[in-house]
Amino acid sequence: MKTGFAAAFGLCLALPVAIPEEPAPLAGFSADSARAEREWEAKFRAIPDPALLRAYMERLSARPHHVGSPYDRDNAEWLLGKFREWGLDAHVENFDVLFPTPKERLLEMVAPTHFVARIEEPTVAVDPTSSQHDEQLPTYNAYSIDGDVTGPLVYVNFGVPDDYETLDRYGVSVKGAIVIARYGGSWRGIKPKVAAEHGAIGCLIYSDPRDDGYAPGQVFPAGPYRPKDGVQRGSVMDMPIYPGDPLTPGVGATPQATRLPLDQAVTLTKIPVMPISYADAQPLMAALEGPVAPAPWRGGLPVTYRLGPGPAQVHLKLKFNWDQKPLYDVIARIPGAVYPDEWIIRGNHHDAWVNGAEDPISGTIAELEEARAMAELLKQGWKPKRTIIFCVWDGEEPGLLGSTEWAEEHDAELRSHAAMYINSDSNSRGYLGVEGSHSLEHFINGVARDIPDPESNVTVWKRVQFQRIAGAGEGRMMMPQTDRAEARTRPDLRIGALGSGSDYTAFLDHVGVASLNLGFGGEDGGGIYHSIYDDFYWYTHFSDTTFVYGRALAQTAGTAVMRLAGADLLPFDFHDLADTLHRYVDEVEKLAHEKRDQTIERNRQIDDGVFAALEDPHVTMLPPPKEPVPPFLNFAPLENGLAALEHESQAFEQAAAHTAANGGSALARAELKDVNDRLTVFERAFLSSDGLPSRPWFKHQIYAPGLYTGYGVKTLPAVREAIEQKQWKLADEEIARVGKVLENAADAIRGATAALKQATM
Ligand SMILES: [Zn+2]
C-alpha cells in the first residue's frame, strides 16, 4: 500500500519533514493568544523522542500484564513513578472488578474421529518473551460462562443475524448444536449472543487464515501474520448492554459498592464460548458434512467449507475462577490557570491480554511522552488555561473496566467539568485515523493540518486527503465513505462516528463528554492481535520500527490537548455537526423506505413462486418467510429537531465569526466563563436520561455501538435499530424522542450564542 501510494505521488521518504504552510488563524484564540499558543505548541512537538518511546515499550511489554497479574501492578507503579519524576501531581485509583480466568479448558471432537485441540500458543525461538508461559493467560474468551456441552457442529460463517437467515434457507438449525464461527463481520461478543438466541449450546470462534493468517502474507516469525497455533483472546461480555464490571452497572466498583450476585450479571454469555487457532479449527471443519457453504462464507483453510450439522460431534468443557481482581488506573493532573473547572482528559489503557506491545503499549507510550513534554513546558512557564488530566487505564481488554468504573465513580464531576476526552489505543505506521464527536470535526482537522507526516513530505492531514482522493489504502480506523470530489473541496475531512471498542465509551455514551479517538495505521498488516506474539520483538520487526509514528501520535494528541486547554473560547463548531446529523437523518429515512420496498418486492416474489421455481431441485433451499409490510413512519419530529439545530448552528457561527474580526480583539477582552461553561457541557444535550431502548446505560442519542454489531457504530441508534429490527411502533416513538433531543441541542447552542454575544458585544 505504501509503495503504490508513494510512487503515484512521487514522494520521497528520505526528504526532511515539511513545515506546514502559513499558519491559519486558530479558532477560539485572539491573534495574540494564537501567537503564544503556536510558540508553545512548536516547543511541545520538538520534545517527543522515538528513542524514549522505544525504551518505554520495552519496559512496559517485558512481561505479561493482564488484569490481576503482578506485572500489571508493577507497570502501574512505574507509570506513577514517571509522572511524579516529571513533577506532575499523580495518583493511582483502585477498583475491584469481576475478572474470570480459566480453571479448566477442553475441546475435543468425539465423532466421527477423535481429536483433542491443542489450545496453546507455542514459543517461537527468535522471540524472547513468547516463552513466558508461566505468566501468560491461557487462550480464552473472558466472561464466557462455565459449561460442559457435547453436540453436533454447525458452521455459521461470522455468526451474525443475517447468517442465521441463510442457514434457515438451507434448512440447517443450530438448536442443541455447538457452532463454529470465524472472526470478523462483527465484534466477537456478538457471535455467542446470537448463537444462544438461536438455541446453540456452545460456541467456538476461530481465526481464519484468509483474514490474518497465511493468505495476506507470511506468518510469524517470517512475517507479521498469524501463525497456525496463534489465537485471538478477547472479551465476550455483552458490552452493548453495558461495559465495565458486570457486578456494578452504573456505579464505580469501589470496595463499598453494592454488587449484583453473579447469576444476575446479564452481560455474561448465555453459552460457553472459546477462541481457537486455525490449526485447531481445520480438523473440525474438515469433519463437517451437509450443504457446501455459500461462496462468501468460504475462508482460507484447505478444506471444503460445509455447514453441517455434524457428523462432527464436539465436546467443549470450560470452568473459570470467578474472582474479583484489583484495577490500577493511573491519573495525573495539570491544574488549569484560568478555567480550572473545565477539564480536558487524555487516556489510553496500559493492561494487555499478554505482553501487548502493539495493543495497547504503542498508544500508551505516546501518551507518556505527551505528559513528559507538557511537564517540561510547565517548567518553562507554560500555563494551560484549563485543567488537563492524563489517565492510563487498567482493565480495558476484559471490558473497558478501568475507564468505565472511573467514569461511573466520577460521573457527577465529569458532568459538570469534562469538556473533552481524547483517546488512543494502539498505533502503527500510516494514515491518521480520527473518529469522534462531530462538534470537534473542524477542530481536529485544524490540528491535523499542523502535524508533519514522518515518512512523506506532507502534513498528516494532506496525506489522508490524498488517500481519499486516490481511493488508495484502507485507513485502519473506520472513515466514513467520502467521494473524491468532496475530498478535494470540502474544507474539513469527515471524521467517523464512534462505536465502541475502547475507553472513550463511558465518556461519550454514558456521561456525554465530547470525545475523539486518534491513531495512525493502515500500512502494516499483522495477525498477532491478542496473542502471545504481540510483543516487543514483533513490534520492532514488523510495525513502527523507528517509532516515528509513535512520535506523530504524541504530537497530534498532545497538540489537540494543548489547544483545547489553551483556547480563549472552546473551539466547538456546530457547522460540521449539523451537516453530519443531516446525513444521519437522511440515512434512517432512506432505510425505512428501502425496508418497505424490499418487503413488498420479496413478498410478491414469494407469492409468484419465484424462489420455488428458481431453486435447484437437487439442493434443499427453502423460500424466505413472508413478512408484514412495514408502515410509513412519521419522520417530522426528527426533521423539525434537525431544522432547529441547523438554524442555531448558523447563528452561533455568525457570532463566532464576529469575535474573530479585528484580530479577535473581542475575545481578548471578553469575560468568557459563561459561554465556555455552556460549551463544556454542550454534548450532554444529546443524552436522554432513559437511555436507549433495552439498554439504559447507553444515554447518547446520536452515537452507540450496535446491539448486533458490537464495535460497529449505529448513529441515531434508537431509531435506526428499531427500523432494522422491524419494531415499527418503537421506531415511531423513538423518532419523537430523538427529535426532542435535537431540539434540546439546538436550545443549548442558542444559549451559547446568546452568552457569546453578551460577552463580546
Ligand atoms: Zn487496546
Q: Do 515 and 498 touch, CB atoms closer than 8 A?
A: yes
Q: What is the pLDDT at residue 2?
A: 30
**If you measure from the C-alpha of residue 755 to the centroid of ligand 1, how many angstroms do you get, rounded to a whole number?**
40
Q: What is the DSSP string of 599-659?
A: HHHHHHHHHHTHHHHHS-TTS--PPPPP-PPPPPP--HHHHHHHHHHHHHHHHHHHHHHHH
Q: What is the pLDDT at residue 4?
A: 32
Q: What is the pLDDT at residue 690?
A: 95
**If you measure from the C-alpha of residue 360 to the centroid of ligand 1, how many angstroms do you get, rounded to a whole number?**
4
Mean pLDDT of all residues in 437-466: 96
Strands 339-349 and 386-393: parallel
733 by DSSP, 3-state: which?
Answer: helix
**If you measure from the C-alpha of residue 61 to the centroid of ligand 1, how many angstroms do you get, rounded to a whole number?**
13
**If you measure from the C-alpha of residue 75 to the centroid of ligand 1, how many angstroms do you get, rounded to a whole number?**
16
Cell matching residue 613: 421455481
- In whole angstroms, give the CA distance from residue 594 to residue 511: 34
The H-assigned helical ranges of 46-131 are 50-60, 70-85
60 by DSSP, 3-state: which?
Answer: helix
Q: Do 184 and 158 touch, CB atoms closer than 8 A?
A: yes
Q: What is the pLDDT at residue 36?
A: 95
**If you measure from the C-alpha of residue 95 to the centroid of ligand 1, how many angstroms do you get, rounded to a whole number?**
19
- In whole angstroms, give the CA distance from residue 212 to residue 214: 7
- In whole angstroms, give the CA distance from residue 152 to residue 314: 6
- Kindly tell me if the per-residue pLDDT of 669 is higher than 80: no
Neighbours of 435 (CB within 10 A): 25
- Kindly tell me if the per-residue pLDDT of 621 is higher than 50: yes
Neighbours of 529 (CB within 10 A): 19
**If you measure from the C-alpha of residue 459 to the centroid of ligand 1, how many angstroms do you get, rounded to a whole number?**
26
The H-assigned helical ranges of 67-112 are 70-85
Return the H-helix or E-strand segment holding 704.
strand 703-705
**If you measure from the C-alpha of residue 142 to the centroid of ligand 1, how many angstroms do you get, rounded to a whole number?**
15
Can you give 414-447 as a three-state secondary structure string?
A: HHHHEEEEEECCCCCCEEEEEEECHHHHHHHHHH
Quick: pLDDT tens for 672-730: 999 999 999 999 999 999 999 999 999 999 999 999 877 789 999 999 999 999 999 99
Residues 6+ apart with CB under 8 A from 739: 636, 637, 638, 639, 640, 641
Residues 6+ apart with CB under 8 A from 669: none
As to burial, measured by CB atoms within 10 angstroms (0-12 exposed, 13-18 middle, 19+ buried), residue 209 is buried
Q: What is the pLDDT at residue 391?
A: 98
Residue bearing the bigger pLDDT, 16 or 86: 86
**If you measure from the C-alpha of residue 503 to the centroid of ligand 1, how many angstroms do you get, rounded to a whole number?**
9
- Kindly tell me if the per-residue pLDDT of 469 is higher than 50: yes
Q: What is the pLDDT at residue 476?
A: 37
Per the rule left: phi > 0, alpha: psi between -120 and 50, beta: everything else, 134 is alpha
- Kindly tell me if the per-residue pLDDT of 380 is higher than 50: yes
Residues 6+ apart with CB under 8 A from 682: 439, 514, 572, 745, 748, 749, 752
**If you measure from the C-alpha of residue 545 to the centroid of ligand 1, how many angstroms do you get, rounded to a whole number?**
19
Residues facing residue 387 across a β-bridge: 343
Q: Using alpha carbons, select from 153, 178, 88, 427 the residue that is nearest to residue 284.
A: 153
**If you measure from the C-alpha of residue 138 to the centroid of ligand 1, how many angstroms do you get, rounded to a whole number?**
18
Q: Using alpha carbons, select from 630, 671, 678 the residue that is nearest to residue 652.
A: 678
Quick: pLDDT tens for 270-298: 999 999 999 999 999 999 999 999 999 99
**If you measure from the C-alpha of residue 361 to the centroid of ligand 1, how many angstroms do you get, rounded to a whole number?**
8
Quickly state the pLDDT bin for 622 (edges 50, 70, 90): confident
Q: Do 428 and 520 touch, CB atoms closer than 8 A?
A: yes
E strand residue ranges, 481-534: 515-522
**If you measure from the C-alpha of residue 188 to the centroid of ligand 1, how many angstroms do you get, rounded to a whole number?**
15
User: What does each C-alpha distance from 581 to 256, 612, 715 come to in angstroms?
Assistant: 42, 43, 9
- Kindly tell me if the per-residue pLDDT of 6 is higher than 70: no
How many percent of the chain have pLDDT more than 90?
87
Q: Using alpha carbons, select from 555, 585, 578, 423 the residue that is nearest to residue 499.
A: 423
**If you measure from the C-alpha of residue 396 to the centroid of ligand 1, how many angstroms do you get, rounded to a whole number?**
7
Q: What is the pLDDT at residue 710?
A: 72
Per the rule left: phi > 0, alpha: psi between -120 and 50, beta: everything else, 726 is left
Quick: pLDDT tens for 631-650: 999 999 999 999 999 999 99
**If you measure from the C-alpha of residue 614 to the centroid of ligand 1, how many angstroms do you get, rounded to a whole number?**
48
Q: What is the pLDDT at residue 482?
A: 56
Return the H-helix or E-strand segment holding 178.
strand 178-182
**If you measure from the C-alpha of residue 424 to the centroid of ligand 1, how many angstroms do you get, rounded to a whole number?**
8
Averaged confidence pLDDT in the chain: 93
Quickly state the pLDDT bin for 5 (edges 50, 70, 90): very low
**If you measure from the C-alpha of residue 701 to the centroid of ligand 1, how many angstroms do you get, rounded to a whole number?**
25
Cell matching residue 269: 454469555
Q: Do 336 and 565 touch, CB atoms closer than 8 A?
A: yes
**If you measure from the C-alpha of residue 319 to the centroid of ligand 1, how many angstroms do you get, rounded to a whole number?**
26
136 by DSSP, 3-state: which?
Answer: coil
**If you measure from the C-alpha of residue 613 to the centroid of ligand 1, how many angstroms do you get, rounded to a whole number?**
51
Q: What is the CA radius of gyration of the chain?
A: 26
Cell matching residue 50: 522515538
Mean pLDDT of all residues in 211-224: 97
Q: Of 304-313, 354-363, 524-533, 612-621, which range is least confident?
A: 612-621
Q: What is the DSSP string of 615-629?
A: S-TTS--PPPPP-PP
Distance of CA 296 to the CA centre of its chain: 26
- In whole angstroms, give the CA distance from residue 162 to residue 175: 17
Q: What is the DSSP string of 10-52?
A: T--TTSPPPPPSSPPPPTT--HHHHHHHHHHHHHHHT---HHH
Residues 6+ apart with CB under 8 A from 596: 629, 630, 632
- In the chain, count of helices (H) and strands (E)? 24, 18
Quickly state the pLDDT bin for 1 (edges 50, 70, 90): very low
Return the H-helix or E-strand segment holding 274.
strand 273-276
